[in-house]
Structure 1
Amino acid sequence: MTADGASVAYDRFVPGNGDHRGQGRHKYDPGAYGRGIAEDYDRLYRSIVDTEAAVDRLIALAGGGPVLEMGIGTGRLALPMHRRGLEVAGIEGSTEMVEVLRRKPGGEQVKVVVGDFADTRVPGDFSLVVLALHTIFGLPTPERQICCFANAARHLGRGGRFVVEARVVHASDFVDGQAVQSRFSGEDHVELQVQRFDPVSQRMRVSNIHLADGRPVRMNSFSNQYTTPRELDLMARMAGLLLAARWSDWEGGAFTGSSRRHVSVYEAMPDP
């Protein structure tokens, strides 16, 4: 949906038809989100509380092997993993986000390919491919999400794993298809998130409103294509991957019907 509630049209995906990234009235731009928020991203999202736990978990899952992060952004996860001795590469849709990463200590040593992580290829095989913080939903259609799983599988070496972190939508979160919640709050800042959700198409329009002491109001808006955990599992199977573990957080909490997000680990199907 657009900001005014109008539906967004994307072309039907046909395998092998060339450019299939959404050529309807609103063409998908993988760099749009980062382009609008790159310079403010680290300040706005410094309150993400479980980054250290995520890094610890990812290092354990990598087993010392190379890591590829899809949607690497400004390096929130990649740079700590690099500092702790892992070889890390990334795919990022926005050159602006990559420029911010490059300015940080160690940023020049992380190889990043700019492109759509649904089909951009990075040379080499990886022990771990990571897609964190609900980024899977940024792809505009289920078909593009299927492509993403296939792309992740292509990057995995023998015994490799694909890890997806994503939120879980509950019907009770919405009243007449809309919800407002606060998140990432601190002593001098808070983010309000306004969401409009269509349960039929599972399209979601999100506006994040950032309020900080002494700063002007900052808002960024974007569309998401929500996918349930079970739908993601089916996409994984289509790519030759099976669910190996699912937690409610990076510390390994049990995933239940009331969980608000999931961390899912996929591995290659065993040979027949």
Structure 2
Amino acid sequence: MTTSDLWDADAADRYDEAVADMFAPDVLTPTVDLLADLAREGRALEFAIGTGRVAIPLAERGVDVTGIELSQPMVDRVHAKRPDLPVTIGDMATIVVPGEFSLVYLVFNTIGNLRTQAEQVACFRNAARHLGPGGRFVIEVEVPSLRRLPPGQAGVPFDISDSHLGVDTYDVVTQQAISHHFTRQPDGTYRRGTHNFRYVWPSELDLMAQLAGMELEGRYAGWSREPFTADSESHVSVWRRHGEPGPQSVQTLRT
């Protein structure tokens, strides 16, 4: 059983509005540009496809896109927009879909939805299992904000606006974290929501890739391939599968 939070119908219905800034052309266009370039003439598989924010415009570029998603209500939202986009319901760390892909990708911090290191390692292995030789696995994820966490303080605000307050709280021993969202409603009240995740460092991801038979090809501060530096708050990392994976079943990758 996965440790991921499960998005229910209410959360799925509100999702696109809650992340409306992620649909902005200056955010979405560079994302789709890079993924289309990496997919080339091959097929693309999105882990945790959500409501299709990235997959649908990527498919509109002519890329053959397939998705995996844990939440049926989120898949329903995808199919309300694009009925012909194939999506398999299941855990991105274990479920296998037919065929071979030149690109597997996972965006918007979603690797953290897997809240154990073992599940995150299994996710990398599952990506490698779906890739043909030379195929790429791409992840977009924040660099943990612990540099902004003074001793004795548990939380770091990540958004403060008239309509929303967001605070991340961290357990620096277990790498478990919670995003706390306070969203202003039309009547002036606030709705509180939480999202659990496991934060992960770039070097830790590189080791997961190595265990899965992949090597780092590029790391950028954003989708426009900006240089990644010590001050970067997020990264887009690309690993390349360099050989056939070992004979491992789905069951042996779960702990």
Q: Matched residues in 1 for 2:180 and 2:221: separation?
A: 25
User: Number of aligned pairs?
Assistant: 239
Q: Give runs of aligned pairs for residues 127-166 of structure 1, distance below 5 A.
A: 127-166=102-141
Tell me which residue corresponds to 1:51.
Answer: 28
* Structure having the larger proportion of residues in helix: 2
8 Å CA contact retained: 2:133, 2:243: no
Aligned-partner SS, 1:72:
coil
Tell me which residue corresponds to 2:11.
Answer: 37
Tell me which residue corresponds to 1:217.
Answer: 190
8 Å CA contact retained: 2:159, 2:167: no
Tell me which residue corresponds to 2:73.
Answer: 96
Output the amino acid matched with 1:129: V
Q: Give runs of aligned pairs for residues 65-214 of structure 1, distance below 5 A.
A: 65-104=42-81, 107-175=82-150, 176-182=153-159, 190-211=163-184, 213=186
Q: Matched residues in 1 for 2:215 and 2:10: separation?
A: 35
Q: Matched residues in 2 for 1:157 and 1:270: separation?
A: 9
Cα shift at 1:35: 4.5
8 Å CA contact retained: 1:31, 1:93: no
8 Å CA contact retained: 1:195, 1:207: yes
CA offsets 1:101-154 (integer angstroms, 9 cap, x no match): 1111xx211110001100111111111000000000010100000000000000
| Two-structure CA RMSD over aligned residues (Å) | 1.9
**Structure 2 gap segments, 5+ residues each:** 245-255
What's the TM-score, normalizing by structure 1? 0.83
What's the TM-score, normalizing by structure 2? 0.88
Q: Matched residues in 2 for 1:36 and 1:242: separation?
A: 39
8 Å CA contact retained: 2:181, 2:194: yes
Residue 231 (structure 1) aligned with residue 204 (structure 2): yes
**Structure 1 gap segments, 5+ residues each:** 1-20, 23-27
Cα shift at 1:219: 2.9
Cα shift at 1:212: 5.4
